[in-house]
Amino acid sequence: MKKVDVFVIGSGSAGRKVAETCTKSGLIVAMADNREYGGTCGNRGCIPKKILLAPVEIYEVATNLTDKGISSKPTMDWKALQRFKGQFTKPIPKATEEELKELGIQLYHQSPKFLDQQTLSVEGKSIKATKIVVATGQIPRKLEFEGATFLKNSDDFLQLGKLPKNMVFIGGGYIAMEFAHMAARAGSKITIIEHGESILKAFDSDLVSHLRKVSVDLGIDFILNSEVTKIEKLKKNLRIHYKQGGKEKTLKTRSIFNTAGRVPAINTLDLEKGNVSYSHKGIQVNEYLQNTGNPNVYACGDVSAHGLPLTPLSGLEGAVVAENILQGNKRKIVTPVIPSAVFTLPNLASVGLSEEEAKSRYKKVTVNYKSVPDWYNAKRINASAYAFKIISNERTKQIVGAHLLSPHAAETINMFAMAINLRMTTEALKGMIFTFPSWANDIKSML
């Protein structure tokens, strides 16, 4: 039986951090991935998504400024956009494997299965590992109803060579909204069917309402409080059946995408044989990111039940796991306040506490919520929406939550993340000198 010091399952940012750190420290390391090396973010996640978004951002600004210095409305070439994206994504798997091989890491191309607490089966081989790290990320949530086999997912959208003239997204989360904003501007008619009463439940409802209005103005339709019951194949189209308000309804469309969220990728690992504890949130871990059921196992990245499924946090978790494998459990995971963003146009971004959370935690809070499309930075580019909600502890004057909707909210929110992590007061932030006129300078008028 082959033996290694560390076996890492998954080649995304978390798994790579563990593997590279451990092998550079002299340990024998093996890694497996059942898909192309490089993980979700680089191959089929945030990196290709933002590349597709780049020309859409230019299109948006140019459209808003038509007849205000731009002489004619631009057009979008989806095929050219996909070719541009491929320049970034196609080299990733090969380059990743070459880098890992140069370090001496043993690579496998299959999802391993646990045979016992320290033994895995992969590519027909049994491998005993002193430590096993699960870093498999997340996969699309499976939807089960008649005709569900006709559903496409986010991978398929990112590979679309030709944009369908209309499409439906099932689920109103950030993936659906980001793709909908791209596709609608590229000329596709979009419908979003959401089971709940609102979209983007993880974000501030007031700012979401502004974003929804922008989306409707783009031609995006929302069908809320609805449950999809069936999909049937027609000659060229698909017919989707759903229930809304006790009534059966149907809708014809060219393509239907499952954007109902993602779940930990653990179903093929045979975790029970390895005595690995887990829940619907992922691999259960303690403060050292060590599994609560099997002390030989660690988990990091999106598959861990520890935190949010965000790439920057995955890298941090990978560093913690590597250090604890090398030095014994000495480093506890300490997670800073983490910003998140929906890359629609405008961006929707959030960091810290929601208004409800802040009011339940503190006796008195100050909530400054305004819609300000008439502010200079928005008017300069004729932006359709600009709003904010800033929350502070009334007693300490410390900022505890920030929620932004603007063309550059995904960047501006980082200023608030820094302020919250450094426990800055509103007065301290107002006293900063920023470039002017800039989106960052607007922060002082939000407090």
Q: What is the largest CA-CA distance in the chain?
A: 72
Q: Output the CA angle 270-271-276, nearest 5 degrees.
A: 165
C-alpha distances in Å from residue 63, one per residue of 75, 180, 300, 339, 421: 9, 18, 42, 29, 38
pLDDT higher than 90, residue 312 = no
pLDDT on residue 309: 67
For 94-111, what is the HEC assignment?
HHHHHHHHHCCCEEECCC
Q: Are 414 and 339 in contact (CB under 8 A)?
A: yes
Q: Quickly tell me which residue has 């049937």 as its tokens.
A: 232
pLDDT higher than 80, residue 8 = yes
More confident of the two residues 407 and 306: 407
Quick one: which of 34, 43, 6 has its CA closest to 269? Answer: 34
Question: Which residues, at least 6 apart from 70, have a Cβ–Cβ distance to it below 8 Å?
Answer: 62
Question: What are the tens digits of pLDDT across the range 423-447?
Answer: 999 999 999 999 999 999 999 999 9
pLDDT higher than 90, residue 329 = yes
Q: What is the mean pLDDT of the chain?
A: 95
Q: How many CA atoms lie within 13 A of 153 on its CB side?
A: 13
Helix, strand, or coil here: 380? helix
Q: β-strand 29-32 against 106-108: which pairing, if any?
A: parallel
Q: How far apart are CA 279 and CA 283, in angstroms?
A: 7
Q: Are 30 and 127 in contact (CB under 8 A)?
A: yes
User: Taking phi first (over 0 means left), then psi (-120 to 50 degrees means alpha), and beta for anything else, what does residue 205 get?
Assistant: alpha
Helix, strand, or coil here: 60? helix
The neighbour count for residue 220, using CB atoms within 10 Å, is 21
pLDDT higher than 90, residue 379 = yes
Q: How far apart are CA 34 and CA 134, in angstroms?
A: 13
Question: What are the tens digits of pLDDT across the range 68-118?
Answer: 999 988 888 999 999 999 999 999 999 999 999 999 999 999 999 999 999
pLDDT on residue 27: 98
Q: Which residues pair with 8 in a beta bridge?
A: 31, 133
Q: How far apart are CA 160 and CA 172, in angstroms?
A: 20
- Worst-scoring range by mean pLDDT, 72-81, 217-226, 228-237, 430-439? 72-81
pLDDT higher than 70, residue 337 = yes
Q: How far apart are CA 134 and CA 156, in angstroms?
A: 26
Q: How far apart are CA 444 and CA 447, in angstroms?
A: 6
Question: Which residues, at least 6 apart from 95, have a Cβ–Cβ distance to it below 8 Å?
Answer: 38
Question: Which residues, at least 6 apart from 18, have a Cβ–Cβ distance to it below 8 Å?
Answer: 6, 8, 133, 135, 298, 300, 318, 321, 322, 325
Quote the tokens at residue 167: 């499409």
pLDDT on residue 1: 87
Q: Are 29 and 11 in contact (CB under 8 A)?
A: no
pLDDT on residue 82: 92
C-alpha distances in Å from residue 353, one per residue of 131, 171, 234, 369, 412: 36, 24, 47, 14, 17
How confident is residue 307, by pLDDT bands cut at 50, 70 and 90? Answer: confident
Question: What are the tens digits of pLDDT across the range 16-60?
Answer: 999 999 999 999 999 999 999 998 888 989 999 999 999 999 999
Cis preceding-peptide flag for 437 (omega within 30 of 0) = yes
Give the pLDDT mean for 223-243: 97
C-alpha distances in Å from residue 100, one per residue of 5, 16, 93, 323: 16, 8, 11, 19
The one-character DSSP state at 354 is: -
pTM metric for this prediction:
0.94
Give the pLDDT mean for 192-205: 96
CB-based burial label for 401 (10 Å; 0-12, 13-18, 19+) = buried
How confident is residue 125, by pLDDT bands cut at 50, 70 and 90? Answer: very high
Give percent of the chain above pLDDT 90: 94
Query: Cα 387 vs. chain centroid, distance in angstroms?
Result: 22
C-alpha distances in Å from residue 56, one per residue of 50, 53, 221: 10, 5, 20
C-alpha distances in Å from residue 43, one per residue of 37, 260, 271: 8, 20, 26
Q: Are 110 and 32 in contact (CB under 8 A)?
A: yes
How confident is residue 306, by pLDDT bands cut at 50, 70 and 90? Answer: confident
pLDDT on residue 311: 67
